[in-house]
Amino acid sequence: MSVRERAELAGARRIVVKVGSSSISGENAHKIATIVDGLAAAHARGTEVVLVSSGAIATGMPYLSLDERPVDLATQQAAAAVGQNVLIYRYQDALRPFQIVAGQVLLTAGDLENATHRSNARRAMERLLGLRILPIVNENDTVATHEIRFGDNDRLAAMVAELIGADALVLLSDIEALYTRPPSEPGARPIDTVAHDDDLSGFEFGATVVNSVGTGGAATKASAARLAAASGIGVLVTSADLVDEALSGASIGTWFAPNPAVTPSSATAPVRTGA
């Protein structure tokens, strides 16, 4: 059953949580433990949790002696190959005290466009969740090309939520909520709730590229949230530092109310990769 209000997140059956590169790499690598604490608490309540985690390229950069995110595809792929291994190790190390096992799931946009691949991905994730494994999903950066990339993992998270019929999606950011304009600008106000049919054209969500290690930002989160909400999935956008409060149903962040006319279903939910 879809979560209709953020207060219902604590009792959700299945939740997808997405965290970005800047929240878990570089000087913020220690925050993986904070995020895992929140996921483990939800897992202990019986919630099935899927984590969509960026950060493979950013995590691999120091091992390739790179100070900035590489721009050429081959070096991105090399950094991802190294970083994904380290990233999963860090997550599993943090999960170990809770006796939770992580399962790695790497996807490309092509996987979700192909009916057979999509069905296989759904079946594998359903089985992982049935075994009480915590799937950690990322784009398969080592084999993805510019032409078939998701573009950002906010969109990937929305598509995964649709794929498995999640009750809710939580997009973790660097700030507590979305604002009517970049929060550093005068007059910026936090947005508490967005109805499924609200017009957001008057808001200024800022640039897409937000730092030297990842892509994304407020605009991509708003777009991904609208995508999921249109499919009947409620979405909360808030800070990675508040993941435990978010999954406990606290009144924080920006809530995108789901379309009340649609019920998410893992059997019928459409998966859209186009713009």
| Residue 54 among known ligand-binding residues | yes
Classify residue 248: in a domain, yes or no.
Answer: yes
CATH number of residue 228's parent domain: 3.40.1160.10
pLDDT of residue 151: 58
Angle at CA 100, nearest 5°, toward 156 and 22? 40
DSSP 190: B
Please name the helix (run of DSSP H) or strand (run of DSSP E) that holds residue 139, with its range, or none. strand 134-139
Classify residue 50: in a domain, yes or no.
Answer: yes
Range of the domain at 203: 6-256
Residue 226 corresponds to which amino acid? R
Is pTM beyond 0.85? Reply is yes
pLDDT of residue 145: 62
| Residue 119 among known ligand-binding residues | no
CB contact burial 169-188 (16+ within 10 A = b; e otherwise)? bbbbbbbbbbbbbeeeeeee
| Residue 141 among known ligand-binding residues | yes
Classify residue 42: in a domain, yes or no.
Answer: yes
pLDDT of residue 8: 96
Classify residue 268: in a domain, yes or no.
Answer: no
pLDDT of residue 110: 79
pLDDT of residue 206: 57
pLDDT of residue 269: 42
- Distance, in Å, from the CA atom of 37 to the CA atom of 199, rounded to the nearest integer, reads 36
- Distance, in Å, from the CA atom of 169 to the CA atom of 157, rounded to the nearest integer, reads 8
Residue 3 corresponds to which amino acid? V
Q: How many CA atoms lie within 13 A of 73 on its CB side?
A: 10
Classify residue 270: in a domain, yes or no.
Answer: no
Classify residue 44: in a domain, yes or no.
Answer: yes
| Residue 93 among known ligand-binding residues | no
Residues of the chain with pLDDT under 50: 147-148, 207-215, 266-275
